[in-house]
Structure 1
Amino acid sequence: MGIGNIFKAFQPKDKVFFVLFEKVAETLVSMSKEFHESLLEFDINDDTMLKDMSDYEHKLDDLTHEIFVQLGENFITPFDREDISTLASGLDDIADFMYASAKYIYLYKTPLDPSYTEFSLLIYKSCVEIENAIKNMKDFKNPREVKESCIKINSFENIADDVLSQATVKLFETQDAINIIKIKSVLEYLETVTDKAEDVANTIENIIIKYA
């Protein structure tokens, strides 16, 4: 191998990682949008949404796997390898818990709680801001825009905490023990999605602090 090729082999693979992260974020936006819209017109006898959520989750697993493959193959990375790993895992967690929320909504076959769509809208908005943040991370040229998106995601998570509290209070007022257990479980899965989005925002913000 000539000296030129050796140098090229050790050049940072910024485009590879940022392209993959952007694909993950874009897929999360599509997944969360469909999740929210499906809950607005929910039919317990139609499992199309559950199948679609499963497909999205598998697609995101594949993208996450590819990020780790690239991490193993590339000596130089656009930012810390540990941060790349944490960000990839965090984004994958959002998809996992979103799919789990959809799965238990179908498995439990309980009446659709009004707060489900409040959560799904917050999840969708969080994913949109994650996509914005990741796009603005490229080359670390727009740190202010990245931080603004992270602040919005943290705000959505705070709202989700309030939604969970209020929904739980109303749920216990029904005094239907079986449904309380089932619906409370789904509510906690939904709220966890917003927690995972906040974790991603914190990871992104830490990366920006280091490199911008």
Structure 2
Amino acid sequence: MTSPRDLSPAAVQLAALARGVREDDLLWPTPSSNYLVGDLLEHVDGLSRGLQAAARKESVPQDELRDGDRHQLRPGWGDRITEQLDHLVRAWAEPDAWEGETVEGGVPLPASMAGMFVLDELVVHGWELARATGQPFEASAEDVSALIAFLESLPPMEDSEGLFDPPVPIADSAPAQDRLIALTGRDPSWSDGSAPAR
């Protein structure tokens, strides 16, 4: 069983990145080939609400299971996502959130595993937003180490319902954060060149 983790460092960073997205960033590409920045931001908007339900062992409203559609992104995303991520952290800070079984994304699974998938969403989408919009990003070493161990413990991709794209080959000597990103099927060296560093 995975021990409960404090999601606040990853959530605070993701919230800051969301607040840093500008209107003219929304059509820029991201490391996820199916998403532009606006799509990714709308996905984060939805998951920052929907993943609270998994902590409380509640059903997720159907409209919060969206894959990400920039056309549904409502104004005020920065403040809204910040508030929702704060509620998400509080929900997963409850002692029983990591115990028993829950449902996440329509899939029944142990709550401790669901909590780690939440952490993965926060860290990886934070990295994607940062890379796509030229904002700085560095996940906590503790979160990166825990996520690498968690993801490496999962069954082979063909047996794990396609949760991620196949891992990107990377040297064992690469920085830990790059190895984590590669494990989730993203290219750690991705750059579109559109976003100037901020």
What TM-score do you get using the length of structure 2 for normalisation? 0.41
What TM-score do you get using the length of structure 1 for normalisation? 0.39
Q: Select the structure that is richer in helix.
A: 1
Q: Select the structure that is richer in strand.
A: 2
Higher RCO (CA-CA < 8 Å; seq separation 6+): 1
